Amino acid sequence: MNASGPERAIEISVCIVSRDRHNALGLCLSDLAGQSDPPPWEILVAADNDPATEEVVAAWLPLATIVHTAGLTLGANRNRLIDCAHGTLLLFLDDDTRLRPTLLHDLAEIAAAYPTTGVFGGPNLTPEDAPWFEQVQGRLLALPLLTGPMSHRYRQLTAPIATGGRGLTLCNLAVRRQTNARFPEHQRGGEECTLLQGLRAQGVLMLRHPALTVEHRRRPTLRAWSRQLYKYGHGRGEQLATSHPVAMRIGPLACVAFALRIRRGRYVLAATPLIAAASATGWLAVVERSYRPRDLLGTFTQAVAIPVTYGVGVMRGILTANPRSAKDPTG
């Protein structure tokens, strides 16, 4: 990895947390092993005491550092990797991410071109060869109607653009070590939102760049898709509750209670996500020119899952969050 010798300091520390996705991890590591003209770099993998993961890592990158962890949250795992890393840039990747062969080279070039920027990232797109079910997820995630500002994460980017963090995602997120970044260790998901919120409050500049685009597989089943959305929503709810504890505990419940008090309020609550899902389904049907009943039903089902399961997760996260946990370091 650091083929240039020990006299050159490591520039990029690639940090991956992997859990029971050995085939996907192997593909990601193969992309890293095939990087073209990278700067001096290292890779650290949190293996959660899984021998199979260690075997996959050793097969592709024998010089990788395995960090043994067990029973920790994803945020805590990533903080352990930060503690063991030596690079001036910390690149966090998901274990099912596919990389361009020049990603590490491009990241080093971009970081040198923007010396005052502390956080870098790019879109994560659905692979073109992914199954139809996953392709639909990628298209739905890219619709502002369903995902709001987060939709920027899943859309093509043509030029570098400054961001406040909403367009960045943890599956390909680079942070300068000098920012003293730390992930919240109490959240079940969406920990990058809390991290980026803390860095933004410190005035750290952030950049999205098309050269940092990666491909990211979606979930293969509706159950897995809904579980992921719920986890993201739960993490977002925890973040909101710890940032604004009083408002977040009272506000959402008051809105629901008010809606249920008005005439047909419960029907309004139920109809809102259905209308959004139906609109998204119709829009995609026109764009894709696919009007088969099976495709329409599959798209609509996945579209409904976004506001419903994510919304339930947000509410659950708000109601169960412990404000004291906000004392976890985030920067």
| Average pLDDT taken over every residue of the chain | 83
What one-character DSSP code corresponds to residue 101?
A: T
SS3 label, residue 117: strand
CA nearest neighbour of 189 among 233, 125, 126: 233
SS3 label, residue 33: helix
SS3 label, residue 54: helix
5: pLDDT confidence band, cut at 50, 70 and 90?
A: very low
Q: State yes or no: pLDDT of 239 exceeds 60.
A: yes
Query: What share of the chain in percent tops pLDDT 90?
Result: 49
Element (H, E) at 120: strand 117-121
- Quick one: pLDDT at residue 253? 59
- CA–CA dist 32, 14 (Å, integer): 9
**pLDDT digit string, tens, across residues 268-326:** 445 556 656 666 665 555 455 555 676 777 778 888 788 888 888 888 888 777 655 55
Q: Any idea where the domains of the chain sit in the sequence? A: 12-216, 222-327
- Quick one: pLDDT at residue 116? 97
Q: State yes or no: pLDDT of 244 exceeds 70.
A: no
- Quick one: pLDDT at residue 238? 84
Q: State yes or no: pLDDT of 331 exceeds 50.
A: no
> DSSP per residue over 173-200, as a string?
EEEEGGG-----SS-SS-HHHHHHHHHH
- CA–CA dist 233, 20 (Å, integer): 23
Beta bridge partners of residue 125, listed in sequence order: 215
**pLDDT digit string, tens, across residues 51-87:** 899 999 999 999 999 998 878 888 999 999 999 999 9
Contact status, residue 217 vs residue 24, Cβ threshold 8 Å: yes
250: pLDDT confidence band, cut at 50, 70 and 90?
A: low
CA nearest neighbour of 235 among 9, 127, 75, 68: 75
CA distances from 306 to 60, 73, 124, 223, 293 (A): 36, 24, 18, 12, 20
CA nearest neighbour of 330 among 224, 153, 197, 222: 197
The order of strands in the sheet holding 214-216 is 97-98, 214-216, 124-125
148: pLDDT confidence band, cut at 50, 70 and 90?
A: confident
Record the tokens describing residue 233, joined without a space.
Answer: 């929503």
What fold characterizes domain 12-216?
Spore Coat Polysaccharide Biosynthesis Protein SpsA; Chain A (3.90.550)
- Quick one: pLDDT at residue 284? 59
Bridge pairing between strands 214-216 and 97-98: antiparallel
**pLDDT digit string, tens, across residues 149-205:** 888 999 999 999 999 888 899 999 999 999 999 999 888 778 888 899 999 999 999
Q: State yes or no: pLDDT of 24 exceeds 60.
A: yes
Residues in the chain: 331
